[in-house]
A and B are shown apart, each in its own frame.
Chain A
């Protein structure tokens, strides 16, 4: 059966041999229904234990989902999976994703995804159009920034081509290197830019005019219309923000979707048409500022209070994009860590230059040096802050305050991330999400802490909901008011982490935007539970999926398929990396530190109680069907998810 929404083919490119093959997407359907789900299956089948991020045989998987590029709102994203170079203590299997318009273009070019293996003998780029793919010479592009690379390829191929490229950081295998498209849409976390660079793959250019089938066009249109109209501003905020009139006047600030299909005005995504450069004098810059990039100028009154100012901050953010560096790592991890080292009197200079976060010259020196592996100190930082601390033998204690685990800086965790406001007990769920992952888990799991805080009257005094209302609405999905109760402590925290785990897979597999889904709270319904037509908010994705594809799954079946992905990913981690509960517990010391914000209902700041958290972990393992001692899927669980053959490969590492 041919399902709607899919382009129908996967492109497999081996850069060592120059082999280009096409595989039917159908081989993985419907079970591994797109993006992250499909990647998990391929990874299990094709990544043997011992494969490192930079090994030529290590596959770089860039996959869309059935909803990508369709009329489904917020559906422009693309998922990147493979062995992560940023991963710590091991380069292990992980994922990332990016927005923009590249994924939709790939699908119109006839492919649901690309799996790249091998290493080209010299720099190349892939030129993909309407079910064809050519490996093109990219030697003249090597060394260029991400922006110029895109422009050069567009000049050659056409302005309506979409390009996913790496900059010098990726070329130089910097472990915090991004691969990106347009001016701000990056596969930011995971170091997949470095993986691309290790394959001598500078860019992937796509263009297409092929149609995508739709199973039930009228129904799909109507579902999309309802979902689009129900959506609220992103970041869990109930109301839409306005533009900054001064910046509109001065810099041409405007709304710009950070990905195709976006239907809300969010807090962060802004395009600037004319910003005078500070370092490149006489030049005007333009580009997008999304997400954490708004922090580059520095924000007075926050932990991130350096004084670059808007114009220099904008330019530095663009430099980081162009060089191909991970904004989150730089702003939430690396730079705060450097500042700590300075205030602690450990260092004043790096590679001969004074650490001065108010100076754009310093930032440029820092970032360009990292991406090009210049100087001893910046070369160490090219390995990511966590590895740099080990290499340089400094800042270990400070690292523990900023980096929860896995080589990633904090994110909605109440500790290291000090720009996102989340207090106890909500970060207990974040801690669980961190414990069970191989990376910063929040990028596709904002739906808990961010949503609750954003919808609360603490963050939204005028538009927010009462705690009582938040508890009542959330109990519809979590089954208990304790799961979102600000005074519930450790009670009821395992289930939200479990539930949002499946939702994270769903978002990365369908694909839909993490900041908007799952729809839980609403100001458009009387009881404030998201609803449209006869659909409940948490079912929106499933209704779009079924009417588009013709795969007639229920909510439970889509959930089951999504949880199956988590089981297979965990089995892969056990088989290839010997992952166990001991690894999961490594997040505990970080969270035992005192939180950064205070729960006003409790009146004091707290750190994690490790013993209590271990009991929450027990609950989580029980929900997942993993044994408590090792944190691994049991044989019974693997059978429940029809993974018997896979379980056999785990041998003695699985509990009967």
Chain B
């Protein structure tokens, strides 16, 4: 797969995607480490999601002066090379979806869990579904 899609109208607000993502990526229940965020609209029921679209020509990559954001050919995800990253934060500012986050003094983004996103499996309501590689 190269990305996942979210159908917000199927989201029940269970937050399993967030708790599983944060635990997978930080080893603790730290919502700040989650690479998917859910804005719960508890009174209208219309929740919205913040997540990386794995853009074809991503703004985060273009904003990076160090060339630290590159595609992982195996998973299809744009990943951060922390050996090159200077933590300048321009990628975080550049993402039009607000899906590049700042955590533990460094930018973080969804890297599709190496090709098998934990959030997709955690969602039992088909709100998060993988999009297979069209190539």
Contact = CB atoms under 8 A, between A and B. Distances in A.
Given A69-B29, A71-B23, A228-B122, A183 B12 contact: no
Contacts of B20: 71, 221, 224
A209 B12 CA distance: 22
Given A211-B32, A221-B24, A286-B45, A255 B12 contact: yes
Nearest to B33: A211
Contacts of A150: 43
Interface in A199-223: 209, 211-214, 217, 220-221
Given A71-B20, A209-B32, A263-B16, A214 B43 contact: no
A211 B29 contact: yes
Interface string B35-75: 00001101111100000000000000000000000000000
Interface string A89-123: 00000000000110010001000000000000000
Interface centre among B19, B24, B33 (most CB of A within 10 A): B19
Contact of A211 (B9, B26, B121, B125): B26
Interface of B: 9-10, 12-16, 19-20, 23-24, 26-33, 39-40, 42-46, 118, 121-122, 124-125
Contact of A254 (B9, B16, B26): B9
A217 to B, nearest CB: 4
Q: Using C-beta atoms within 8 Å of the partner chain, give the interface range for chain A.
A: 35 or more
B13 A214 contact: no
A263 B14 contact: yes
A151 interface: yes
A69 B29 CA distance: 8
Residue of B13, B20, B40 with highest tally of chain A CB at under 10 A: B13
A264 B12 CA distance: 10
A260 interface: yes
B26 A225 contact: no
Contacts of A5: 29
Contacts of A170: none
Contact of B124 (A209, A228, A254): A228
Contacts, number: 102
A159 B19 CA distance: 20
B50 to A, nearest CB: 12
B16 A261 contact: yes
Contacts of B28: 211-214, 217
Contact of B29 (A71, A100, A273): A71
Contact of A256 (B16, B45, B121): B45
Nearest to A218: B27
A118 B121 CA distance: 47
Which of A71, A214, A220, A260 gathers the greatest number of chain B CB atoms within 10 Å?
Answer: A71
B45 A263 contact: no
B125 A265 contact: yes
B22 to A, nearest CB: 8
A70 interface: yes
Nearest to B118: A221
A165 interface: no
A254 B45 contact: yes
Given A147-B43, A213-B28, 10 more contacts: A151-B43, A183-B43, A212-B29, A214-B23, A224-B20, A255-B10, A257-B12, A262-B12, A262-B14, A287-B43
A271 interface: yes
Given A71-B23, A263-B14, A255 B125 contact: yes
Nearest to B46: A273
Interface in A222-259: 224-225, 228, 252, 254-257
B45 A261 contact: no
18 contacts: A69-B29, A70-B29, A71-B19, A71-B29, A101-B13, A182-B42, A183-B42, A209-B31, A211-B31, A212-B30, A224-B20, A225-B121, A225-B122, A252-B45, A254-B9, A256-B13, A287-B43, A288-B45
A73 interface: yes
Given A211-B29, A212-B28, A214-B28, A70 B43 contact: no
Given A211-B28, A217-B23, A273 B13 contact: no
A98 to B, nearest CB: 14
A262 B11 CA distance: 11
Contact of B19 (A261, A264, A272, A273): A261
Contacts of B42: 100-101, 182-183
B70 to A, nearest CB: 27
Contacts of A260: 13-15
A254 B12 CA distance: 8
Contacts of B9: 254
